[in-house]
Structures are given as C-alpha cells and as structure tokens.
Amino acid sequence: MTNPIIKTQLSNGLTVQLKEIHTAPIISHWVWYRVGSRNELPGKTGISHWTEHMQFKGTPQFPAGVLDKAISRDGGVWNAFTYLDWTAYYETMPADKIDLALRLESDRMVNSVYDPKEVESERTVVISEREGGENEPTFRLSEAVQEASFDVHSYRHEVIGYKEDLYKIQRDDLYNHYRAHYNPNNAVLAVAGDFDAITMLARIEELYGRLPAGEKPVCPASPEPASTAEKRVEVKGPGETTYMQLVYHAPAANCDDFFAMTVVDSLLTGPTGLNMFGGGGTSNKTSRLYRALVEKELAVYVSGGLQATVDPYLYDITLTVRPEQTVDSVMAALDGEIKRLQDQLVSEEEIIRAVKQARALFAYGSENITNQAFWLGYAEMFAHYDWFTNYVERLEKITPADVQGIAQKYLDSKNRVVGVYLPSGEEEGEA
C-alpha cells in the first residue's frame, strides 16, 4: 500500500490514478462514475442500477455476448456495482492482456447501444431481482427503515428502486441517464498492477483522451433536515423470526466525526468493512452489543454498519431476536449499552482493541491488487485518495473523550429510526 501513485487529469476532465505493483503479473482496471441512487429523481428510482446492467449489452465494436467470452478467454474477471453515490466497472486481467479492458471500457463509456429488445429483457431481470429481495424479511425491513430515515434526500430509496418505477422506465430514460452521467469529466479511472506508468498513461490518453468531456451533471439530492424525534416502523410478513433494525443519522465520510464514529461502530457491534468488494473479516464477539444481547440470550445475531458516503447517511444496528424474547427486552438492553457509552468514558485498552480490529479489517480489504485498484477510485467518490492512506492514522488518534462525544451527538434517540419485522407465523404464499 506504500507504493507511490500517479494522479493526473486528461483535458476532457477524466481523473486518472495509477499505481505500479510488481508483485504478480496482474493488472486491475476500474472505471468509477459519480452516479448512483443519490442522483435519481422520484419516478426514476433504480435507473442507475438498470443502466449498469445495460452497459453489458454491447456496443457496435463489442456486441452483446462478445465481451464476456473475450474476458474469459484472456483469463480475466470482470464485474460492476451500483451504490448510493457511484457506479463502478472493473476488469482484473493478466498484465499482457489488459489492453482489452482499456479498449472495452473506453468504448462503452460513449458507444453503448441500448437496444429496445435488450431493455425489455433486462426489465424482467431487474424486477426479478427486486422481487427476490422482497422475499427476504430483512430487505423489507431495511427498505421501510431507509425510507422513514429521509424526508427529502434521495438516499431514502433502495438502489434497486421501487417496482412501480421499474415498470415505467423506458429505453430513452435509460439512454439519457447514461449520456448524462457516463462522461470523462464525471469519472475516475484507476489502474493498479504490473505495468510501467508512463506507458500506461500514454495508452490511456490514446483511448480515453479523445472522448468528449460532456456536460457536468447536477445532482438533485437535497440536504436532509435534522431529525427532531425518534421514528418507529413496523413491517409484518411471513416467517417465524422477529428482526430489528435501528439506524442513526451518521456523518459523511469526509467529516472528521466519521473516524470517531468508526471506533464507536467497532466498540458496539464490531468493525465495518468499508471495502464492499470484499476482503476477509473479523469476529464481533468482543463487541459490547454481542456481549449484552447474544451472550445474554436476548438476540441470536447482531451486526452494525457504517458506510462511506458523500452526504450524511446512516449507522445501522441489525439484530435477530431470540424466539422467547420480546422487542421491549432487547430494546432495553440495547439502550442500556448506548447510555453506558454516552455516560462513561471508554478505557484506553478497549479503544486500542477496537481500533486494532478496524485496522485489521481495513487491511484485509486492501491487500491484493484488485482491492488496491478499488481504493484508488473508491476514495475519490466521497473524498480523495489521501483519505485512504491516512485512515489508520486518524483512527489511532481517537480518544475516550472523542468516543463519548460522538456517542452523545449521534446516538441520541431523536436521531434514529427503530424498525421491527413482526412475523405472522405463516410461510411465504400462505393465505
């Protein structure tokens, strides 16, 4: 992770980040676009994720069906992800085959076809994906809680979008969304691996530098007003298990409070892996809520999550209630642990352990070439690459007083939504 990076910007606005890593003959190539569910308007929810799907349907140079075969034939892997603030595409290839990735991504940045028949075929796919989520109690609960957490900000809807919007969105909606956001001046190209940076930059200039800059898109997201009272949400559905999800409005990634909040997360539920692409894990059995809820047989499972986002988002605590326990008993124990964190200074030893766990999980998500290329672009979506390189150092500066202050500031009951999934005892589909 200490290898120097080269950062530059092409004349059309494309940000380029390069990192030479000569440990294996592999190169990972990522293109990040600053577009996700945060950029969507009412009636068009899910359009960013659907656009990502359409980007795999081909261009005149790389027709549908050719791309996957070409990547596999050359021994590579590829995929894409859409989230709140961004959409990302990557290829990890043998070093001598990386030019295919450069050519196909520069081509589909501007030349994707969006054939109407493919749009209709993919409509079935994304609606099926949505319906698959609806079969899961935790998805139903999470969606209801997320919607209740935001009155005006577009973070209020799931990335997959609402089903009624997925039925209404048309080919031109998708194509116009693509053309508005898939432009060099709205993108970051990140490449890490076994290459010569000067040679790689010349090839990037040759392929990407000729593309038109396009208009800089304006994000429609509105600032969310401060929460003034706790909200409660109940979702009823099939099954026999009660689930709970509590979310607190949390700081944006580029806010100083984010780092102390990360330590709070590690103390309460175990550290969150910020690299959603993957990279190992650590146990949360030393966390306060595991000891208070799972070990004392109030809950079967507890986890937490803090995401790195452009705008303030949510810190969530999700748990599975033991069959013989009540929601009230679980809430009482959970609130007791929150109050303890607010009223009593955490010991230096506990903070050291929490930071160590967060640091370990961070390292797991940063160790291979694909993950290092991931971070080159990902950090630029909400801050800059220095955020990544300084992450551990900033965590290690957090004091007991910082933790207490952040718990008092953000873990206030009026700053949260409490969601409960109440099972009917029936199986899915029963009358």
Concatenating the DSSP letter of every residue in 253-295 gives TTSTHHHHHHHHHHHHH------TT-------TTSHHIIIIIT
pLDDT bucket at 180, cuts 50 / 70 / 90: very high
Average pLDDT, integer, range 18-47 = 97
Domains 5-208 and 231-423 share a fold: yes
Confidence of residue 1 (pLDDT cuts 50, 70, 90): very low
C-alpha triplet 79, 84, 86: angle, nearest 5°? 50
The confidence score (pLDDT) of residue 274 equals 76
Q: For 283-300, what is each residue's pLDDT tens digit?
A: 788 899 999 999 999 999
Q: What is the mean pLDDT of residues 127-150?
A: 97
For the chain, the helix, strand and coil percentages under 3-state DSSP, each to the nearest 5: 45, 20, 35
- What are the pLDDT digits (tens) for 341-395? 999 999 999 999 888 888 887 877 777 899 999 999 999 999 999 999 999 899 9
| Cα distances (Å, whole numbers) of residue 374 to 17, 104, 127, 313, 395 | 11, 18, 28, 21, 21
Element holding 300 (H helix, E strand)? strand 299-306
Q: Are strands 243-249 and 299-306 parallel, antiparallel or unpaired?
A: unpaired
For 292-333, the pLDDT digits (tens) are: 999 999 999 999 999 999 999 999 999 999 999 999 999 999
Specify the pLDDT at position 431.
41
CB 283 within 8 A of CB 270: yes
So what CATH class is 5-208? alpha beta
**Rounded CA gap, 406 and 251, in Å?**
10
The Cβ of residue 181 has, within 10 Å, a number of other Cβ atoms equal to 22
Residues 157/84, Cβ–Cβ less than 8 Å: no
**Does residue 51 have a pLDDT over 90?**
yes
How much is the pLDDT for 361? Answer: 79
Sign (positive or negative) of CA dihedral 296, 299, 301, 304 = negative
pLDDT band for position 146 (cuts 50, 70, 90): very high
Structure tokens at 215: 């208009």
Helix (H) or strand (E) holding 101: helix 99-108
- In which residue are the tokens 């506990």 written? 350
Alpha-carbon span 39 to 65, nearest angstrom? 29
Q: Name the average pLDDT for the chain.
A: 94
Q: What is the pLDDT, as a whole number, of residue 114?
A: 97
In this predicted structure, the answer to whether residue 3 has a pLDDT above a threshold of 80 is no
State residue 235's pLDDT score.
97
Q: Does domain 231-423 have CATH number 3.40.640.10?
A: no
Phi/psi of residue 319, nearest 5 degrees: -150, 155
How is residue 215 annotated by DSSP?
P
| 402-429 confidence digits (pLDDT tens) | 999 999 999 999 999 999 999 987 775 5
Taking residues 271-279, report their average pLDDT. 68
Domain ranges of the chain: 5-208, 231-423
